[in-house]
Structure 1
Amino acid sequence: MPTNRRWILESRPVGEPTMENFRLEEGELPDPDTDEVLVRTLYQSVDPYMRGRMRDAESYAEPWDVGDVMKAGVVGEVVDSRHPRYEQGDVVQGELEWAEYTVADGSELNPVNPEIAPVSTALGVLGMPGVTAYFGLLDAGEPTPGDTVVVSGAAGAVGSVVGQIAKQAGCRVVGVAGADEKTEWLTEELGFDAAVNYKTEDVKKGLATACPDGVDVYFDNVGGPVTDAVWPLLNVRARVVVCGQIALYNATEVPTGPRKLAQLIQTRAKVEGILVRDYEGRWGEALSRLGEWVASGELQYREHVVEGFENAPEAFLGLFEGVNIGKQVVKVADPEYAKL
């Protein structure tokens, strides 16, 4: 019988997480009960929001306790099923444990169709990041043709989709990213009109040059100095969509930064934070359109795949170093039962 490895939150990080905050545990394979499914992990997601779950503080995502098995978005194959909806070999997606095998209630899983796209995309462009980009831009950002849209973290899983949808909406799109390889991908492959490398350029000057008519929509995945640089460029009735603040996730004290709220009086701009779970009842709408765009080639994506379950923490830590282009996933295993 195979054993099961799981990643445990060993301790709470202070500042940037390290490998000392994680512990690999090995145990017996779990057995499913009535209406439950045993899932073997094929791909595991790592996402910036998980950093908040490592804190002992209230947030929109419930924090893990020290000693808990950590959780992530997972795509896996059904090994054993006690649920009428699933049978061995089905591919499913759900919020499951950082583990090689997990028992889950069948009602908490979603089927994944391998014929639409590689199943790993259910963690990226055809999963939570893609849906976040879709509703965050179209519902909260409300882009109209001719708008200038600025996206921070533009080469990430969410930002890269936001920019492409904005281009389809007839907007001028400017991305901010942290490497020349990333800015080249944005402009040469994804169709962004301009991109600024915040690590090598003066962001304030770069954005002012790239946005001569100001900014109508700012999709913020980063916060910090990049957001400070965008603020003076906001046009009257601009929309600011706050999706993430990865520049601040490891801060032990949140910096005050420039106090520019008076800019909102002058511009009458709208600032709105978004949580993808607020759109739970509409995911089908988003996934249908995103799937059509991927199939037609109108929506491009890239995955940064880290091989090996034992490397999951390193993949997570890499998010804060900006190593990934597109969606960062961990490949845990090849399918044994699923026909992919």
Structure 2
Amino acid sequence: MKLCGVSEPEEIPISELKPGIDVTFEISEAVVAYFDILGFSEKKNDEEIEASLADFSGALILSARQNHNIRFNIFSDCVFLSASIKDASELLSAIRFAFLGWIADGMLVRGGISIGSYKEIRTAAQDMSSGNVVSSLFSGSGVTRAVRLENGPAALLFTDNACKEFYSSKYHEPIFVLDDHIIIGWSDERQALYQFAALSLIRLLKLLAIWNDKYIQIKEKLLNNIRYSSTAVGDHLFLLSLAIPILSLPVITSEIRGEALSILKIEPTTFEYFYENLKDSCNAWLDKTENKMLLALADMDSSIPQSLDFKSCK
């Protein structure tokens, strides 16, 4: 049946049908980084979860105020940072600024960074959506690779060969290797790396008191944080200076101390020798306000079981 005066509809091949998508922002050659909070899915305390989100985003927002050429896309415990490749150095500066804030708040964050495309899109469906829809759509090869790279065995910044070669040759950035994973250095500030390693060691000690296969991978990640810090600092006494005051805490049992020394590859006789000569320094370490805060922050993560009561330290 034909309607009078109405022409037949034109046939359009399926291959020519296009979705109703507009690209609202695009960087064809970008550096893209993706981060999330390590252990976030295991947290059990609602107040702590909310505080973690505030601290995580707060460090990023402060970084954004310092780095105007970097795009920050924050959602829950995750964030994408992107920038044109000409601003690649500023992107790393923005990441390191945020890292200092995360460590100051006792937060371990893992990331992946890659070179590729980045774009933000808006669809026709979004234009028709009601007020109860919140959406942020983005894609690109840089996004995909950064997410894939992020899944490494530590709270570090993982990358691939192409991104490593770019940052190494153009900016002489420090590059490290952990098994088959490539890492771009977090920071060159010794104190920040010390806090990062100390936070990891204290949480590792908690897990050493628990004989549960569930935590094997977490233990390895925390240990890798310590290994990285020691390598990045480049001081052969770094592990000793880290281990002596922490392993001398009154709540650390001799069994846990022995196991910790074993996995850190520190000879017990070496530990005892230095400890006998550094007892006063160990007490001074514990008396410092920032180290008392460090112990409290290490104890507050509910994704780490409360097997040791570090709050009892005086």
Does the alignment reach a TM-score above 0.5? no
Bigger radius of gyration, 1 or 2?
A: 2
Q: TM-score, normalised on structure 1?
A: 0.30
Q: TM-score, normalised on structure 2?
A: 0.32
